[in-house]
């Protein structure tokens, strides 16, 4: 299966060439166009573009969009091209054949993970494939590599627009951290869409120069953003509860008493669970990722902080039911 070669090294007028929607470098395709144009004028066109011949005699550009853009910008009238056609019995696979050709043609200048993510997403949606099916369409890809590329698309689209506007400011490690905290799997530490945009803008503008170049520092910055939002939400909640209280309670009513009993029961269950883990040796647990261990620790401290605040502010004024010795 593959595109059939019709002719190689043909000089084709730019007026006969139509751009394909299958452009895989949509996000970085306009970088360095001026440098490419200068090179083409000085040394000529080094690599031929790939064209798909249409029934009406025109050609669809399926590879070489940057060379085509440079030629249009610089007034170069023709491009040297290799011309292909779709085998008659494979017309239904047209889009997939083009994607495979693009993938192979770009191996000399590999697509970045974000570009691969967009390409894999298009193939999944066009052909109804799962990650394993997509991987089978491209030599050298695995289900895991497809999943990792697609995970970058967890980032909010508006944040990705910032990334695409400043591609030289975002390396793969930075995008990986941003995608990790955009994923629902992060649960309590997940960045909201607006927060993702702010973090992306912070990186693009180099507001925190260390976080912009060090993924670990970026992670600290992100967790700081989430923690600030959670603290503000907690403070607001406490303020609203305080405003509703017109007089202090002097006793626990039925539902309050049940809630407090349930709270202390859960604290006791937590203590037992921690003792059990400690007795087994937590250091021997190797299947849990370091990030998940850190997440569990942070959530535990956060919960303990809230319980302490509840006890000090809500339970302190209440009379105790236990008789002091």
Residue range 37-95, pLDDT digits in tens? 887 887 678 678 889 888 888 898 988 888 899 999 999 999 988 898 888 777 677 77
71, 89, 107 - which closes a domain: 89
Q: Which domain holds residue 311?
A: 269-325
CATH number where 27 lies: 3.90.1530.10
Q: What is the C-alpha separation between 102 and 105, in angstroms, rounded? A: 5
Q: What is the C-alpha separation between 204 and 228, in angstroms, rounded? A: 22
Residue range 79-120, pLDDT digits in tens? 988 898 888 777 677 777 777 776 766 554 445 678 788 878
68, 89, 110 - which closes a domain: 89
* Residues 8 and 64 reside in one and the same domain: yes
Sign of CA dihedral 59, 64, 69, 72: negative
* Residues 81 and 8 reside in one and the same domain: yes
> What is the number of other CB atoms lying within 10 angstroms of the CB of residue 10?
15
Q: How many domains does the chain have?
A: 3
Stated pTM of the model: 0.49
What parts of the chain have a pLDDT lower than 70?
Answer: 1, 20-32, 43, 46, 91, 102, 104-112, 245-257, 277-298, 301, 304-305, 308-325
* Residues 273 and 220 reside in one and the same domain: no
* Residues 85 and 23 reside in one and the same domain: yes
């Amino acid at each position: 299966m593959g595109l059939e070669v019709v002719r190689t090294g043909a000089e084709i007028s730019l007026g006969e060439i139509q751009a394909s929607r299958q452009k895989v470098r949509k996000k970085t395709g306009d970088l360095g166009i001026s440098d490419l144009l200068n090179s083409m004028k000085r040394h000529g066109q080094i690599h031929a573009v790939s064209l798909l011949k249409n029934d009406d005699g025109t050609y669809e550009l399926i590879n070489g969009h940057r060379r085509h853009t440079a030629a249009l910008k610089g007034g170069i009238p023709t491009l040297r091209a290799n011309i292909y056609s779709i085998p008659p019995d494979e017309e239904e696979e047209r889009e997939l054949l083009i994607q495979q050709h693009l993938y192979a043609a770009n191996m000399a200048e590999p697509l970045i993970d974000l570009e691969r993510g967009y390409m894999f997403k298009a193939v999944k949606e066009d052909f109804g494939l799962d990650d394993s099916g997509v991987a089978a369409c491209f030599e050298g890809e695995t289900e895991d590599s497809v999943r990792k590329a697609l995970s970058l698309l967890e980032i909010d689209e508006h944040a990705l627009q910032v990334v695409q506007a400043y591609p030289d400011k975002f390396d793969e490690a930075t995008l990986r951290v941003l995608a990790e905290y955009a994923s629902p799997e992060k649960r309590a530490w997940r960045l909201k869409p607006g927060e993702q945009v702010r973090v992306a803008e912070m990186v693009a503008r180099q507001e925190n120069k260390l976080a912009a170049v060090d993924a670990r520092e970026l992670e600290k910055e992100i967790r700081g953003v989430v923690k600030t939002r959670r603290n503000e939400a907690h403070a607001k909640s406490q303020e609203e509860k305080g405003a509703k209280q017109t007089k202090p309670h002097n006793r626990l009513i039925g539902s309050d008493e049940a809630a407090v009993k349930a709270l202390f029961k859960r604290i006791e269950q937590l203590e037992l669970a921690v003792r059990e883990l400690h007795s087994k040796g937590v250091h021997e647990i190797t299947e849990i990722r370091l990030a998940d261990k850190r997440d569990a620790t942070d959530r535990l401290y956060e919960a303990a902080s809230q319980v302490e605040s509840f006890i000090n502010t809500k339970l302190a004024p209440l009379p105790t039911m236990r008789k002091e010795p």
